[in-house]
Amino acid sequence: EEGSFDILGLSALLTITMHAMDDVLKALKAAGLRDKVKIMVGGAPVTQSFADQISADAYAKDAVEAARKAKSLIGR
């Protein structure tokens, strides 16, 4: 809850760690912070379908796409 940021980026290297992304979103919601930050997800095993499933705001397949989507999310 300290500090200020607009976007939280989450990345997973293995399928067994992807569930942690959903845990983070649930924790943000429980803390009343989910609507205050945009969530971007990516990483080798992550797909758009998974991003939709956990209600992430954006999915990116690589760093270039992530930068473009981040700018879009914050209106730049």
Spatial distance between the Cα atoms of 46 and 43, rounded to a whole number of angstroms: 5
pTM equals 0.90
pLDDT at 1: 59
E strand segments, 1-76? 7-11, 38-42, 58-60
What pLDDT is recorded for position 39?
A: 98
Span 15-29, pLDDT tens digits:
999 999 999 999 999
Domain 7-73 sits in which CATH superfamily? Cobalamin-binding domain (3.40.50.280)
Q: Which tokens is 17 given?
A: 């760690």
Query: Sign of dihedral through CA atoms 63, 68, 74, 76?
Result: positive
**Residue 44 to residue 71: CA distance in whole angstroms:** 22
Q: Once rounded to an integer, what is the mean pLDDT over residues 54-64?
A: 97
The residue-averaged pLDDT of 62-67 equals 97
